């Protein structure tokens, strides 16, 4: 069953996807902070989210695995810096 969106809703959805790259970059930056502070199950959930966001930002799979397996937010912060510097180009 298809949903019929109003023209306003269509514009909002369109703007969201037009800015998805910046939204994902911001989310990845916030995850660095959250990972420093989180413990237990919450920390594991943040790492899963970080993996998904890095995939959307076109981070090489080998780098994603290295960052996740290290379980160190410093490595994730380096990925954020590389994206800001333009070393990693989003799709």
Is 52 part of a structural domain of the chain? yes
Burial class (CB in 10 A: 0-12, 13-18, 19+), 88: middle
- Whether 1 is covered by a domain: the verdict is no
Q: What is the number of domains present in the chain?
A: 1
Residue 65, sorted as left (phi over 0), alpha (psi -120 to 50) or beta, turns out to be alpha
Assess if residue 91 is contained within a domain: no
Domain membership of residue 61 (yes or no) is yes
The rounded mean pLDDT for the chain is 93
91: pLDDT strictly greater than 80: no
Q: For residue 39, is it within any domain? A: yes
The pLDDT tens digits for 42-52 are 999 999 999 99
Q: Which domain holds residue 38?
A: 7-85
Residue range 31-85, pLDDT digits in tens = 999 999 999 999 999 999 999 999 999 999 999 999 999 999 999 999 999 999 9
Is residue 2 in a domain?
A: no
């Amino acid at each position: 069953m298809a949903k019929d969106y109003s023209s306003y809703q269509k514009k909002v959805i369109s703007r969201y996807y037009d800015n998805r790259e910046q939204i994902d970059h911001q989310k990845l930056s916030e995850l660095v902070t959250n990972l420093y502070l989180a413990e237990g199950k919450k920390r594991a959930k943040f790492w899963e989210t970080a993996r998904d966001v890095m995939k959307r930002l076109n981070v090489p799979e080998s780098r994603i695995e290295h960052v996740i397996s290290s379980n160190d937010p410093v490595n994730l912060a380096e990925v954020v810096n590389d994206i800001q510097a333009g070393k990693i180009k989003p799709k």
